Amino acid sequence: MKFLKKLALFVLIIIALIFLIIIVRAWDARSMPDLNDWHTTLIDDELLIVNQYDNIDAYLKDENAYIQKMFAKVADKASSKYNRFNPESPVYPLSGNDNLNASFVYDPGESNTKGVILLLHGLSDSPYHMRALGQVFKKEGFYVLGLRLPGHGTLPSGLQNVTWKQWAKATKWGATQLHQIAKDRGSVPLYMGGFSTGGALVLNYALKAISDDKLFKPQKLFLFSPAIGVSKMAKLSTWHKLLSWIGFFKKFSWTDILPEYDPAKYNSFTKNAARQIYLLTQKNKDHVQKLAKENQQNEFPAMIAFQSLVDATVVSEDLLNMFGEIGTSKDKLLIFDINRIYNDFIPQNVLSIDPKNIQFEQASKPQLSMLINNVETDSILGPSSSGIYTRGNNEELTEIYPEHHIAWPNEFFAMSHVGVPISPKDKHYGANSTLGTIAIHGERNVLLIASDDLMRIRYNPFFELMAMEIRDFIGK
């Protein structure tokens, strides 16, 4: 009896400590920047969640009007020059006839169609981030649908209540529409591709399609910085609900409250969004384990993934583990190594993570490629070219495209998570854009934006090499 009383007291103390920690964190959140209308104004119900659309064109028309309506809700409160909701701003994404936040279609023409592909963007992003990749596929004869996920491309408040199951519902709708187009154009193949959260969603769909006859199984998957795993701290992100419903602690439901200067992406981020991607990745891990246990690897679509070695958004190791569990010789993984001419400025624990040391143990091994420096000891004062290498059966590295070398930009020391799907030619994030080349200097702790975010690469300097890998995999 005394033991039970002590146990009960111990549990009560633990609960009290946890609640105290939550209160302290909630109090700290009050020091975050003020919430603006785009953080507090609720968006209308998402079209794909409450309506039935039988074709893509009808949806695209309604979606454009929907996004315009959501922006109009807060336009009169957005007066600063670099605010995406200010119609007079240079970063306003709805200028002219090009809605950067809307879904898009690239159609090569019915007689030229060799396949169809659904492309899904990442968390807090918009379909714009998939446009450059969409053009790569269109040039190969693919009908491309870049689909906007619910809660995205409107107001950051859209991430407050959205669920991963709503994203999955939109994914299913997109795949269903493309299946019909593929059928109408000569039963061409269905492919799926995704960046970050979009990668997790196409993976989830493909995993479920193995056992669900109502889903249309894609033939190939293209994964860009896929969210196979995220920080385990995300599982705690739901605790804010204990207090954030109180007006005094309403900021506690946000992890970041930032200026919204990006035309095609939210800078502010909610704890609910973190929770949803965590739940999705956990669900996918369960599916992967089941697939491996039942030896159904050969029933899974061929997949190719592109991943930075030092991704600060997703857990790169979880992608490697997934390839180790269900990858076969039909699959391929390309790792973007760090620019090792900066070795003197990079900590040893990062330098020790070398893609050359990655090993897969299964009999039918996925092909491993890596983008690495051609000369590791090159000077940081001069350009260092890089190439894509693959490891053969004799463990020796062979360059895949020896006639195509691309130099690291002098100031780049690593590939970022967000940069992977973006072309250097991109108008808003590329090598000659304001966001892609932003370089402002001053003193620490002055700006609302963290210096780490300003340092992050916004485009992929090796995009053309990646496009070559994509074309090779399409024809494989």
| pLDDT (0 to 100) of residue 248 | 65
How far apart CA 208 and CA 384 sit, in angstroms, is 43
Using CA atoms, how far residue 7 sits from 12, 13, 21, 134, in Å, is: 9, 10, 21, 59
Which CA distances in Å does 461 have to 119, 400, 418, 431? 21, 18, 12, 8
Nearest Cα residue to 224 out of 387, 416, 442: 416
Q: What mean pLDDT comes out for the span 122-129?
A: 97
Cα(85)–Cα(100) distance, rounded to whole angstroms?
A: 13
Write out the two tokens for 268: 């502010």
pLDDT, tens digit, 9 for 90 and up, residues 149-172: 999 999 999 999 999 999 999 999
Give the angle subtended at the CA of 271 by the CAs of 269 and 151, to the nearest 5°.
60
User: From the CB of residue 356, how many other CB atoms can be counted at a distance below 10 Å?
Assistant: 14
| Average pLDDT score, the chain | 88
| SS3 state at 135 | helix
pLDDT top residue among 326 and 385: 326
Q: What value does the CA radius of gyration of the chain take, rounded to a whole number of Å?
A: 23
pLDDT value of position 21: 67
Structure token pair of residue 360: 């897969």
Q: What is the pLDDT of residue 345?
A: 87
Residue 69 corresponds to which amino acid?
A: K
Average pLDDT over residues 419-434: 92
Give the residue-averaged pLDDT of 423-440: 84
Quote the pLDDT of residue 48. 94
Q: How far apart are CA 286 and CA 227, in angstroms?
A: 15
Per-residue DSSP letter, 33: P
Q: From 396, 388, 363, 394, select the one nearest 470 (Cα to Cα).
A: 388
The band of 467, judged by pLDDT with boundaries at 50, 70 and 90, is very high
* Residue 16 banded pLDDT, cuts 50, 70, 90: confident
Structure confidence by residue, pLDDT tens digits, 88-98: 999 999 988 89
Domains of the chain by residue range: 1-31, 37-417
In whole angstroms, what is the distance from residue 367 CA to residue 391 CA? 8
CA of residue 304 relative to chain centroid, distance: 15
| Residues 317-346, mean pLDDT to the nearest whole number | 92
Compute the average pLDDT of residues 248-253: 76
Segment 36-58, tens digit of pLDDT: 999 999 999 999 999 999 999 99
Q: What pLDDT was estimated at residue 240?
A: 64
| CATH superfamily placement of domain 37-417 | Alpha/Beta hydrolase fold, catalytic domain (3.40.50.1820)
- 238's CB contacts (< 8 A; 6+ apart) are 271, 272, 275
Angle, helices 271-293 vs 316-326, to 10°: value is 20
Give the containing element (helix H, strand E) for 391: strand 384-391
- Residue 374 confidence (pLDDT): 64
Could you give the CA distance from residue 327 to residue 288 in angstroms, rounded to a whole number? 10
pLDDT at residue 381 in the model: 46
What tens digit of pLDDT does each residue of 400-426 get?
888 777 888 878 889 999 999 999 999
Structure confidence at residue 285 (pLDDT): 96
What's the pLDDT at 365? Answer: 86
Per-residue pLDDT at 375? 57
User: Which pLDDT belongs to residue 8?
Assistant: 72
Pairing of strands 254-256, 142-147: unpaired
Do residues 355 and 307 touch, judged by C-beta distance below 8 A? no
pLDDT digits (tens, 9 = 90+) for 268-307: 999 999 999 999 999 999 999 999 999 999 999 999 999 9
In terms of Cα–Cα distance, which of 318, 313, 385, 355 is closest to 124? 313
Asked if residue 154 lies in contact with residue 67, where contact means CB atoms within 8 angstroms, the answer is yes
Instruction: Please give the backbone phi and psi of residue 370, each rounded to the nearest 5 degrees, phi first.
Output: -150, 140
Closest by CA to 315, choosing from 388, 419, 417, is: 417
pLDDT in tens, 184-239: 999 999 999 999 999 999 999 999 999 998 999 999 999 999 999 987 766 666 66
Dihedral Cα 8, 27, 456, 414, nearest 10 deg? -30
- Residue 192 is given by DSSP the state E
Residue 341: what pLDDT?
85
CA atoms within 13 A on the CB side of 24: 6
SS3 407: strand
Output the pLDDT for position 253. 85
Joined together, the tokens standing for residue 14 give 């633990």
